[in-house]
Amino acid sequence: MRRVYFDHSATTPVRPEVAEEMQKFLADNFGNPTSLHYFGRQARKALEEAREKVAASIGAKPEEIIFNSGGTESDNMAIHGVAMLNLNRGNHIITSAIEHHAVLNTFKALGKQGFTVTILPVDKYGMVSIDDLSNAITDKTTLISIMHASNEVGTIQPIKEMAALAKEKGVFFHTDAVQSMGKIPVNVDDLGVDLLSISGHKIYGPKGVGALYVRKGTRWKQSLFHGGAQERLRRAGTENVPGIIGLGRACELAVQELKMESTRLAGLRDKLIKNVLDNIAYTRLTGHPTKRLPNHASFCFEFIEGESMLLSLDMKGIAASSGSACTSGSLEPSHVLLAMGIPHELAHGSIRITLGRDNTEEDIDYFMEVMPPIVERLRAMSPLDQENEFVMESSCAACKASTSCHR
Amino acid sequence: MREVYLDNSATTRPYPEVVKAVLAAMEDYYGNPSSLHRKGVEAGRAVARAREAVADSLGVEASNIIFTGAGSEAINLAVKGLQPGRKGKHVITTAVEHPAVLNACGQLRERGMEITVLPVNNVGMVDPEDLTRALREDTYLVSIMHVNNEVGAVQPLADISAVIKEFRGAGRKLFWHVDAVQAYGKLPLRPPELGIDLLSVSAHKVHGPKGVGALYAAPGTPLKPLVAGGGQEWGLRSGTENVPGIAGFGVAAGIIAREARETAPKLFNLKKKLVDGILAAVPGAVLNGPACREDEPGCAPQIANISFPGLRGEVLLHALEGRGVYVSTGSACSSRKKPGSHVLRAMGLAEQLVEGAVRFSISTLNTAAEIDYAVEVTAGVVHELRELYG
């Protein structure tokens, strides 16, 4: 059977070039970078080279990069570290309703510790309004965290404008760039952000490694883990050397190939979106029609339950998802779709197709071959009232974000 | 040149089987374990298998294992994630813990907790009676390590367990965390038997990959996560699972379980050969920590900390390196901070001994011939340096 992986926003396979470099540091150059001897120095040298690569890929300086275990830790570290250190200046922090749970749940945890949390609404495309942000900032605001591009609907936020506004008001700005990295240009100076999170396994690098960019001069301090003096006292724990080397190589390759690969993927994406909307009735594109990631297509199918759609696709060899991977299996519909004003029943029929290096035109054709009959079959069985009007409400269910996502 | 790696407490060479498992997982099980489709399910199964293996190696249930990004993270989760309850205000630890424990306790102090740091004797051992005296009505956490990473003192966990059980017997709640990062894979340990609630281990110290650790948490231990997000690892540690790292850890844990009985005697024989050899060949050399004897319960089988008075440890380290023998001056993570080990100082060692200390740490991959070579090189290098600095 044909196998098609359409879930590159959940995770990506490790590129052979990346795996090859990691292998050397798994097997022979296994030293602890803190060790003073040869094995340690070899590991340290490779670690610093990887730091340079990661820094170069986002236009940062090497000393502004802190390696850690992944995107989630990056988000936690960034938010916690700024919020806690600036408590003497204020206790108000701002985010949006469509963030990843790594951000939302960190804000919620801080909310319980006495911080005032503002969760900005989004419009029907999942876009945060600059006016809303501007109105939310008070003299107690110390941090804004808005994601660069949505993992669930692919919408790209106007980070540059928002970060400029934050700077003007003296507020630190963090962006979760886990999904945008490698798909659209990510440059810390262009964006004007103070902190930025990336993850290895979303860009054909390994799992278990990520990086946080912290602009020099940002009032930020590690507040999650304490221990050894690794990462200049900014992140304790023996460095995941092979993982970090993999991340460095993955970042390097992602930037090198960004332009060509993004153009190619955008072509495939547009073909997919057009085909789906033209050929399958009662279907809507979710997220912004144009300001979206080049590899990202997401839809809601009326009168269908997303999970059965995914399982049917899986049986045909196609791996897709309903939204973010970590909410898979949860019975609640996506907090992102709800925040966009999409009604519950419709949000249940969501599907996300995220393309990657291994996908081709034929994969899209194959999808279009198997998907319409699946939709037809599921709709025939559906108990959902087909008389229901499809309404896109522009008003937002501000904070219906689920408290946590149980698998 | 011959290479003899004797810095296995800093990190170890991953077993070939581990490397294979990590690479295979990257290639084949690249899915996200939270995904519902086949690639996700495969990755999820790989994590589940590894969890079983790690649990088996500790004699606990898989549902009590939480994978983390490192041993330090496991320790932080245990110490800072444990909920003190209404009455809990006091924490007890020791002067010879790893910086991860000591610094996490420092954080607790900033949050208003009181910390008692138990002293150690001149070989790095905690006296259980000191623990008895330090326990208070508002003590909620005791964090005492199993094997010290610098001098290899094996703390008297059975006696400590008795003290803790007696305290609990009076109807009081008390949680016990054990940093078993250095002991894991060398000394058999079954946390439930001793009444240990929390136990931290790390993969890369047992020939597994870097970037993965685990925390055992006994059922009912009130933990809160340090990292919020997608709710992986029973909500205690969010973030996409490091599937290849975890799979590699599983393989290493399987080997630990299989070789549990042979490991300690094998390591001890190599250590004895090394210690006896160096002490015989190098005048003035002193073993720090418990005596290297089979009947000495405080003697860890894999760590030998030896001082060469008159020489600086770092100088010796580089001279040994020049002959292909790799050692350390203390714990790897303090190598870059101020010189002089907090452990040796806590033991009350004279300045000259602190400065001249070198740690040899052995793994089952070392051979008797390597130990002979290390002894010969050490004796030669010390002799030359003494001539030079005479």
DSSP per-residue string spanning A217-233: T------S--SS-HHHH
C-alpha B370/C-alpha A256 separation (Å) is: 46
Chain A positions in Cβ-Cβ contact with residue B334 (cut-off 8 Å): 228-229
Residue A405's pLDDT band, with cuts at 50, 70 and 90, is: very low
- Whether residue A228 and residue B333 make contact (CB cut-off 8 A), yes or no, is yes
Mean pLDDT (chain A, rounded): 91
Pair B196, B117 in one domain: yes
Structure tokens belonging to residue A39: 């094995």
Q: How far is B233 from chain A (nearest CA, A)?
A: 9
Mean pLDDT check: name the lowest of A162-166, A244-248, A393-397, B44-48.
A393-397
Tens of pLDDT, residues A280-327: 999 999 999 999 999 999 999 999 888 889 999 999 999 999 876 555
Pair B236, B115 in one domain: yes
Residues with Cβ within 8 Å of A7's Cβ and at least 6 positions away in sequence, in order, are A319, A320, A321, A325, A352, A354, B31, B32, B35, B37, B39, B40
Structure tokens belonging to residue A389: 């009007």
Say if B11 is an interface residue toward chain A (CB within 8 Å).
yes
Structure tokens belonging to residue A276: 């789906």
Pair B81, B201 in one domain: yes
Helix and strand totals (H; E) in chain A: 13, 12
C-alpha B332/C-alpha B329 separation (Å) is: 8
C-alpha A375/C-alpha A383 separation (Å) is: 14
C-alpha A369/C-alpha A376 separation (Å) is: 12
Pair B330, B182 in one domain: no
Pair B111, B254 in one domain: yes
Pair B38, B121 in one domain: yes
Structure tokens belonging to residue B171: 């109807």
The dihedrals phi and psi of A115, each to the nearest 5 degrees, come to -80, 150
Residue B151's pLDDT band, with cuts at 50, 70 and 90, is: very high
Tens of pLDDT, residues B232-265: 999 999 999 999 999 999 999 999 999 988 999 9
**CB B360, CB A37: distance < 8 Å:** no
Mean pLDDT check: name the lowest of A338-352, A393-407, B202-216, B320-334.
A393-407
Share of chain B above pLDDT 70, in %: 97
Say if B244 is an interface residue toward chain A (CB within 8 Å).
yes
CA-nearest residue of chain B to A110?
A: B228
What positions of B carry a catalytic annotation? 333
For chain B positions 50-109, those within 8 Å of chain A (CB to CB) are 68-73, 75-76, 98-100, 103-104, 106-107
Q: Report the 10 Å Cβ neighbour count for A171.
A: 25
CA-nearest residue of chain B to A243?
A: B211
Residue A392's pLDDT band, with cuts at 50, 70 and 90, is: very low
C-alpha A54/C-alpha A68 separation (Å) is: 13
Domain CATH for B221: 3.40.640.10
Chain A positions in Cβ-Cβ contact with residue B103 (cut-off 8 Å): 226-227, 236
Structure tokens belonging to residue A290: 């144009």
Q: Pick the last residue of a domain from B258, B286, B307.
A: B258
C-alpha A246/C-alpha A240 separation (Å) is: 10
Q: How far is A329 from chain B (nearest CA, A)?
A: 7
**Whole-number pLDDT of residue B389:** 77
Q: How far is B139 from chain A (nearest CA, A)?
A: 22
- Whether residue A100 and residue B38 make contact (CB cut-off 8 A), yes or no, is no
- Whether residue B104 and residue A14 make contact (CB cut-off 8 A), yes or no, is no
Pair B61, B176 in one domain: yes
Pair B248, B274 in one domain: no
**Whole-number pLDDT of residue A324:** 60
Q: Judge residue B113's burial from the number of C-beta atoms within 10 Å of its C-beta, 0-12 exposed, 13-18 middle, 19 or more buried.
A: middle
Closest CA to A156 of A135, A121, A190, A128: A128
Which secondary-structure segment (H or E) carries A277?
Answer: helix A241-279
- Whether residue A227 and residue B337 make contact (CB cut-off 8 A), yes or no, is no
Domains held by chain B: number: 2
C-alpha B331/C-alpha B150 separation (Å) is: 6
Residue A120's pLDDT band, with cuts at 50, 70 and 90, is: very high
Say if A30 is an interface residue toward chain B (CB within 8 Å).
yes
Pair B210, B280 in one domain: no
Q: Pick the last residue of a domain from B258, B282, B302.
A: B258
Residues A352-364, mean pLDDT to the nearest whole number: 97
What's the pTM value of the predicted model, to 2 decimals?
Answer: 0.92
Residues B270-289, mean pLDDT to the nearest whole number: 97
Residues with Cβ within 8 Å of B27's Cβ and at least 6 positions away in sequence, in order, are A13, A14, A19
Name the residue range of residue B364's domain: 4-13+262-389
**Whole-number pLDDT of residue B54:** 98
Say if B113 is an interface residue toward chain A (CB within 8 Å).
no
**CB A57, CB A184: distance < 8 Å:** no
C-alpha A53/C-alpha A48 separation (Å) is: 9
Pair B78, B182 in one domain: yes
**CB A179, CB A148: distance < 8 Å:** yes
Give the three-state DSSP class for A88. coil
Residues B100-119, mean pLDDT to the nearest whole number: 96
How do beta strands A296-301 and A283-285 pair?
antiparallel
Tens of pLDDT, residues A143-161: 999 999 999 999 999 999 9
Chain B positions in Cβ-Cβ contact with residue A313 (cut-off 8 Å): 37
C-alpha A334/C-alpha B33 separation (Å) is: 18
**Whole-number pLDDT of residue A192:** 98
Which secondary-structure segment (H or E) carries B199?
Answer: strand B198-202
Structure tokens belonging to residue A43: 């590991």
Pair B229, B369 in one domain: no
Pair B243, B156 in one domain: yes
**HSE (side-chain half, CA atoms, 13 Å) at A226:** 18
C-alpha B327/C-alpha B231 separation (Å) is: 40
- Whether residue A307 and residue B229 make contact (CB cut-off 8 A), yes or no, is no
Kindly give the residue spans of alpha helices, DSSP state H, lying in chain B: 16-28, 38-58, 71-81, 99-110, 128-134, 157-169, 191-194, 243-281, 313-322, 342-346, 351-355, 368-389
Reply yes or no on whether the pLDDT at B268 is more than 50. yes
**CB B317, CB B327: distance < 8 Å:** yes
**CB B146, CB B178: distance < 8 Å:** yes
Tens of pLDDT, residues A224-273: 888 888 998 899 999 999 999 999 999 999 999 999 999 999 999 999 99
Say if A6 is an interface residue toward chain B (CB within 8 Å).
no
Q: In what order do the strands lie in the sheet with A296-301?
A: A283-285, A296-301, A350-354
**Whole-number pLDDT of residue A225:** 86
**Whole-number pLDDT of residue A164:** 98
Chain A positions in Cβ-Cβ contact with residue B242 (cut-off 8 Å): 69-70, 206-209, 243
Nearest to B240 among A70, A76, A108 (CB): A70
Say if B229 is an interface residue toward chain A (CB within 8 Å).
yes
**Whole-number pLDDT of residue A330:** 58
**Whole-number pLDDT of residue A226:** 87
Distances (CA, A) of B274 to B6, B291, B376, B379: 11, 13, 10, 11
Say if B10 is an interface residue toward chain A (CB within 8 Å).
yes
Q: Pick the last residue of a domain from B258, B273, B289.
A: B258
Domain CATH for B367: 3.90.1150.10
- Whether residue B232 and residue A326 make contact (CB cut-off 8 A), yes or no, is yes
Say if A206 is an interface residue toward chain B (CB within 8 Å).
yes
Q: How far is A387 from chain B (nearest CA, A)?
A: 30
Size of interface A-B (CB pairs under 8 A): 284
Which ipTM did the prediction report? 0.90
Say if A405 is an interface residue toward chain B (CB within 8 Å).
yes
Say if B335 is an interface residue toward chain A (CB within 8 Å).
yes
Distances (CA, A) of A66 to A144, A199, A242, B251: 20, 12, 15, 29
For chain B positions 19-38, those within 8 Å of chain A (CB to CB) are 19, 22-23, 26-27, 30-32, 34-38
